[in-house]
Amino acid sequence: TLQIEKGVKKQKALALENLISNGIIQREETSMEEEVAGQRQGCFNLADILYFSKKGFEAIADDEVTRRFSSEELISWNLLSRTNVNFHHVSWQLTVVWITGILIRYCLLMPLRVKCWLSNQVQMTCAALGVRCLSGAVHFHNRENRPQKGGICVANHTSPLDVLILASDGCYSLVGQAHGGLLGLIQKSCMKTTQHVLFERSEMKDRHLVRKKIREHIADKTKLPILIFPEGTCINNTSVMMFKKGSFEVGGTIHPVAIKYDPRFGDAFWNSMKYSVMTYAFKLMTSWAIVCNVWYLPPMVKEEEEDAVHFANRVKAVIAAQGGMSVLPWDGGLKRKKVKESLKEEQQKKYCQIVIENGTVGNGNVH
């Protein structure tokens, strides 16, 4: 009966977790060892493919990674049709409310915001005004931990809005992807006022160059703290993906910042592959509001025996814990490029270790 109780508890916990994570299917996190080895000694069995085929089909129905590169699905609808993925008619009263919402957002909120936005467009120092124009209700927590000069500020990345929000509460130098178009113009105008470091995504491969520039910047204690988003791309704010180790190798104090948007009021995630900046800005201005919480976390330094990857994961865990997001080891770069072949080889190696014992072929137990 103890086992049955444990089983029931596990099912309940799993159901709750799945509800929170908004998945489509129920995933049991069993390891390869449990599923393949079972009760027999290590050796190949015709049934072993069942494990891999089930895992494959689970990934096809719903996977942890590609889910993060599109907007979060909400458990209950916030009256924005763009977040209504599974449309089904509930009642005519709701439809009336929704139509009223549209009228308010498109005919009242947006024109006011456009007027505001145009007049402040050129002045980047009016970042605070910009946030207010989008009806940004930003709550800053633990302001005493705000990044100091000569430090590196790292945060989870959801949209260019993150920069606006952080810049409204402090001055930073930025490291980021050089954009074309409207955003590029804004970036160029920023360059004139403050020291920023801009890269092409292809140039980011030249890690030495990046590191050198960052190192030079933080060595000068009079320079503004440098703001870096180690995920390297926009993620949809439900999880924190792999932190690239570059910024954690240069030494210096890391000031972690957690940024969490409230999805009920508007979707702040910029899906740069789907929407241009203008479309994104329009979406923002026709949402209810941008509500977000910013937590400044206590500064962290790399310990002596620690390597950069371990340190990066430590910082990532702290940010995720504060923001209430899950931690994923996957690289945000998978949004654009294919997964590394070496990860597949790891899976194959793991299977071998189960099937082959001590380098010998194992005895012939099929059952």
Give the footprint of other proteins on this chain (CB under 8 A): 15, 18-19, 23-26, 35, 43-66, 70, 85-86, 88, 330, 334, 338-339, 343-349, 351-352, 355-356, 361, 364, 366-367
Nearer to other proteins, 102 or 356 (CB): 356
Minimal distance, residue 279 CB to other proteins, in Å = 16
Which of 153, 150, 181 lies closest to 167, judged by CA?
Answer: 153
8 or 352: whose CB is closer to other proteins?
352
State how far Cα 25 lies from the chain centre: 22
* Among 174, 201, 212, residue whose Cα is nearest residue 190: 174
Residue 351 CB, nearest approach to other proteins (Å): 5
**Residue number, 48 or 231, with CB nearest to other proteins:** 48
117: amino acid identity, one letter: W
Q: How far is the CB of 163 from other proteins (least distance, A)?
A: 28
Half-sphere exposure of 239 (CA within 13 A, CB side): 20
Smallest distance, Å, CB 280 to other proteins?
Answer: 18
- How near is the Cβ of 162 to other proteins at its closest, in Å? 24
Nearer to other proteins, 85 or 219 (CB): 85
Toward other proteins, which CB reaches closer, 125 or 347? Answer: 347
Q: Which is nearer to other proteins, 178 or 354 (CB)?
A: 354
Cα separation, 89 vs 94, in Å, equals 9
Pairing outcome for strands 197-199 and 136-141: unpaired
CB of 85 to other proteins, least distance (A): 5
Instruction: Report in angstroms how near the CB of residue 341 gets to other proteins at its nearest.
Output: 9
Write the CA distances from 340 to 193, 194, 233, 337, 352, integer angstroms.
40, 38, 18, 9, 20
Looking up tokens 């409204």 gives: 168
Nearest to other proteins of 85, 191 (CB atom): 85
CB of 334 to other proteins, least distance (A): 5
Q: How many residues does the structure list for the chain?
A: 367
Largest CA distance in the chain: 78
Looking at the Cβ atoms of 220 and 345, the one nearer to other proteins is: 345
Cβ atoms of 289 and 134 within 8 Å: the answer is yes
- Which residues are within 8 A (CB) of 227 and not within 5 positions of it... i.e. 6 or more apart? 147, 153, 155, 163, 166, 172, 173, 174, 175
Task: Residue 198: name the closest of 226, 221, 223 by CA.
Answer: 226
